[in-house]
Amino acid sequence: MCRMAAIKSKTPVPPALALRMMLAMQKGHDNSGFAMVMQDLGGAFAEFKKFPLLSMACTSQGLERAEELLEELGFSPKFDYQPDVVNKPGLDFRRMPHYIFRNYRYPEPLNAAYPNQPTPEQKKLLVETRLKLREVLSHDKQGFVYSFWPDVLTLKEVGDPRDIGTYFQMWDDNHWLKARVISAQCRQNTNYRIVRYAAHPFFLEGYTLMGNGENTFYQKNKEFQQRLHPAYIGFESDTQCFLYTLHYIREELGWPLPYYKHVITPLTFEEMQRRSDADVLMRVRQSLMHLEINGPNTVVFVLPDGAMGVIADAKKLRPYVIGKDGDLVVSASEVCGVNMIIPDRNTEADIYPGERETVLIDNALEVQRWQQ
């Protein structure tokens, strides 16, 4: 089972917290990788929050191709951070020659303004550019591009999370990189042949999402989503489907967030029929029945405004716990992960999201909970 850890903090925290949580939850030989999305960045990128940040791992040739493309599209580098690495022998992970974490300026005329949230035109350009970069890098396996978005940094590695942490010096609490929102996941051991693109959390147009368990309606989701939006691609992981559905509900349909739960884990017909909005819910179910998930999954997501949400599957087959202590909300797929970071919290206030519940933590760390 994938281990998940999510941190939302009022002050920027280092990735070491997420790594420690991962090790606390580790079982046996469960060591095949580590992936992380950091948002609302502190540290080195704190001053460049409004500039699109490219997260990429590639070969020299891939880097050359990517830079050519970005230049062609009119992007110009603003800030580049080359992490210091500890390249000692015996580290168990598949490293790439280059790790790029670089802020760019928008091309003209979109560089006229750098709002807190990208404009619709800027959003469109960033998504299209990432897809083009992905395509360019996919030739001859020259690399991977994970996110290209302001204030979002992504790292995805295959190997032992402990060694990955060592290589990037992430065990250091004074790390060069900090963030107020961190979503991290370690993959289970069954997927040694898995590609980096299959590692969640996934990011698309301001939305970050990770989830554990098996999406038993993966094929249905995939077949439906691949026609909905040009960015719904890859499908290397069945968890991508959860992100695309969230994005579709919010960005394409413009529906309120509670309908995400209604789409992925619809109420039973019996429950629906008792409600005053049964007509609407039944129509939603009919139109989007191919986006239902129907498996054992906990879904953890971050919205473009920074709010973090948790939704469990309708059968509550996957555990998840949310704990809060002071300026820190820490959640994990196992309570030992939360205990690792905030052991002295009031555990009676811990939240174990129910099968019909959505939990949302806003930027003031206020927790909203509602039943479907």
**Cβ-contact 126, 89 below 8 angstroms:** no
Smallest gap, in angstroms, from Cβ of residue 72 to another protein? 31
Residue 274 in the binding site for another protein (CB under 8 A): no
Locate 90 and state its tokens: 């015996």
Smallest gap, in angstroms, from Cβ of residue 219 to another protein? 4
Nearest residue to 207 (alpha-carbon basis) of 170, 240, 256: 240
Residue 97 in the binding site for another protein (CB under 8 A): no
Residue 279 in the binding site for another protein (CB under 8 A): yes
> CB-wise, 82 or 269, nearer to another protein?
269
Size of the site for another protein (CB under 8 A): 44
- Out of 143, 211, 296, 323, the residue judged to bind another protein by CB under 8 A: 296
**Cβ-contact 280, 266 below 8 angstroms:** no
Site for another protein in 175-214 (CB under 8 A): 188, 190, 213-214
The label of the residue with tokens 């509550």 reads 316
Q: Binding marks (x or -) toward another protein, 208..237, rule CB under 8 A? A: -----xx-xxxxx--xx-xxx---------
- Out of 15, 266, 309, 323, the residue judged to bind another protein by CB under 8 A: 266
Options 93-101, 128-136, 289-297, 304-312: segment touching another protein (CB under 8 A) = 289-297
> CB-wise, 174 or 286, nearer to another protein?
286
Locate 144 and state its tokens: 């991977």
Distances in Å between the Cα of 130 and the Cα atoms of 66, 70, 291, 345 are 10, 10, 25, 41
Smallest gap, in angstroms, from Cβ of residue 320 to another protein? 16
Residue 311 in the binding site for another protein (CB under 8 A): no
> CB-wise, 59 or 216, nearer to another protein?
216
Residue 315 in the binding site for another protein (CB under 8 A): yes
Residue 295 in the binding site for another protein (CB under 8 A): yes
Strands (E) in the chain, as ranges, are: 3-13, 33-43, 52-58, 76-81, 98-105, 143-150, 152-158, 177-186, 202-204, 207-213, 297-302, 308-312, 321-325, 328-332, 357-361, 367-371
Options 56-64, 103-111, 254-262, 361-369: segment touching another protein (CB under 8 A) = 254-262
Residue 290 in the binding site for another protein (CB under 8 A): yes
> CB-wise, 101 or 260, nearer to another protein?
260
Smallest gap, in angstroms, from Cβ of residue 254 to another protein? 7
- For residue 315, give the DSSP letter: T
Q: How far apart are CA 267 and CA 263, in angstroms?
A: 9
Smallest gap, in angstroms, from Cβ of residue 331 to another protein? 21
Residue type for 41, please? Answer: L
Smallest gap, in angstroms, from Cβ of residue 98 to another protein? 34
Residue 288 in the binding site for another protein (CB under 8 A): yes
Phi-psi label, residue 315: left if phi above 0, alpha if psi -120 to 50, beta otherwise: alpha
Report the 10 Å Cβ neighbour count for 29. 9
Residue 286 in the binding site for another protein (CB under 8 A): yes
Q: How far apart are CA 183 and CA 252, in angstroms?
A: 24
Nearest residue to 320 (alpha-carbon basis) of 292, 291, 361: 361
DSSP annotation string for 195-244: -GGGSSPEEETTEEEEEEE--TTHHHHHHHHTTT-TT-----STTHHHHH
Residue 259 in the binding site for another protein (CB under 8 A): yes
What residues make contact with another protein under the rule CB under 8 A? 1, 188, 190, 213-214, 216-220, 223-224, 226-228, 248, 252-256, 258-259, 266, 268-269, 277, 279-280, 282-284, 286-290, 292, 294-296, 314-315, 317
